[in-house]
Amino acid sequence: MTTQLDKTLKRELSIDGTAYTLAISPEGLALTIKGRRKGVQLAWRDLVSGDAALAAGLNASVDQADKPGT
């Protein structure tokens, strides 16, 4: 039996030495550099419909200036 996702779960992870926060909510996923507000978001609907790559690519291109080192 599985548990219904009814609130946001947040977890920290490290990618190449940079700390990120992963938020999993009923609406979708959000990956943000720790301490920042903007990040890459992916709605469950986009993932299920197959538009996940397109949505992630668009979000990444819009938020390119928020990445460290740019």
CA distances from 55 to 10, 14, 21, 46, 51 (A): 21, 23, 19, 7, 6
Determine the pLDDT at residue 34: 93
Inter-residue contact 23 to 10 (CB < 8 Å) = yes
Tell me the pLDDT band of 49, cut-offs 50, 70 and 90: confident
For the chain, the domain total comes to: 1
Where in the sequence is the domain holding 45, given as residue range(s)?
9-66
Determine the pLDDT at residue 40: 84
Residue 33 pairs in a beta bridge with 20
pTM of the model: 0.69
Give dist(CA 13, CA 17) in Å, integer.
Answer: 9
4 is a domain residue: no
35 is a domain residue: yes
